[in-house]
Amino acid sequence: MRHGLQNTLKTSVTFKGVGLHGGAPVKMVLKPAAAGHGIWFKRTDIEVGDAMIPAIYDLVERTPLCTKLVNGAGVTLSTIEHIMAALAGCGIHNALIEIDGPEVPIMDGSSVEFVRGIMAKGVRQQAAPVLAYEVLKPVTVEKDGAKATLLPSNRLEIEFHIDFADPAIGRQSKTLDMRNGTFARELSDSRTFCRQADVDAMHENGLALGGTLENAVVVDGDDVLSPGGFRHADEAVRHKMLDALGDLYLAGGPLLGHYVGERAGHSLTNTLLRKLFATPGAVRPVLCDAETAERLPGQGLIWAEIPQVA
């Protein structure tokens, strides 16, 4: 049997920015890693104790605002979802990500700078088959009017429905098959969004200190306060799909399944993954053959189709 092979980065890629919540400058370096290594973060500012944090769902501390990992020594890393989405969407299976602070840089609030940075340097194929996780049984979780579901599928499909009181966002729905570079083309430049009232509340609590009108789309009722408005009319639902791709990549490899998020967020998607892996017979690891690998995110990604942003 011909296998679909794992990928890592051709060479290191460096990103500099600020953390969304702490507002502090941060440097993040993505480094190539061996086949079978997976995605790991390393806090280079931690001098004593365990600075290594694997990107895996059961280390997620469920908080509403972002996806935060915490290792056995209590070392944390916040806002990992956009770099995880970029790695999933570029088909990177192995990387060591060194970071000198507690938060991944927010960049422009989307994944596009990560995708462009990774793809500019290129992807290297490795001599080991991709290990994917195939959903075999439907699994659903619900909380406070939000719902997240995984259904069996031979590819990763992401479906999302949102319904916000602010008319600037309102009701939006979208479904996409994640192969053929879909993520890079359709979702990677969609930014985090929030409501002005939420920004005010976060500032009062000392959060979102690095947030600006440049790295999040801020809305207030009918109005979009960020200059230039939305990049897509349905940028909000696209960003929720971006977050879902990043959060689902914490399965430990690509997921083959149909995800449905209805007003869901990071915490609920994580609860869904935990339930998937805790439910007997709901998921199985598969070594991808060449045909399955053709359906993985990252396949068919074309440089010219990655959005350019100023």
Residue at token pair 């994580």: 270
C-alpha torsion 273→169→106→34, nearest 10: 40
> C-beta of 109: minimal distance to Zn ion in Å?
7
Nearer to Zn ion, 43 or 191 (CB): 191
Residues 119-178 contacting Zn ion, CB under 5 A: none
Does 239 show up as a binding residue in the annotation? yes
Query: What are the DSSP E strand ranges found in the chain?
Result: 5-9, 13-18, 25-32, 39-43, 52-54, 60-62, 67-70, 76-77, 95-99, 123-129, 131-135, 139-143, 146-152, 156-163, 171-177, 193-195, 217-220, 223-224, 255-262, 283-287
Three-state SS for 204?
helix
Among residues 21, 93, 258, 266, which one is catalytic? Answer: 266
Residues with Cβ within 8 Å of 298's Cβ and at least 6 positions away in sequence, in order, are 7, 88, 89, 90, 91, 92, 123, 181, 183
Interface with Zn ion, residue 113, by CB under 5 A: no
Interface with Zn ion, residue 182, by CB under 5 A: no
Does 100 show up as a binding residue in the annotation? no
Does 200 show up as a binding residue in the annotation? no
Residues 233-252 contacting Zn ion, CB under 5 A: 243
Nearer to Zn ion, 43 or 266 (CB): 266
Active site residue 3: no
Give the angle subtended at the CA of 241 by the CAs of 238 and 247, to the nearest 5°: 145
Tokens of 193: 């969004």
Number of residues in contact with Zn ion under rule CB under 5 A: 2
> C-beta of 152: minimal distance to Zn ion in Å?
27
Interface with Zn ion, residue 6, by CB under 5 A: no
> C-beta of 59: minimal distance to Zn ion in Å?
19
Question: Using CB under 5 A as the criterion, what x/- string covers residues 187-226 for binding Zn ion?
Answer: -----x----------------------------------
Nearer to Zn ion, 64 or 281 (CB): 64
Annotated binding site: 82, 239, 243
Catalytic positions, please?
266
* Contacts with Zn ion, residue ranges (CB under 5 A): 192, 243
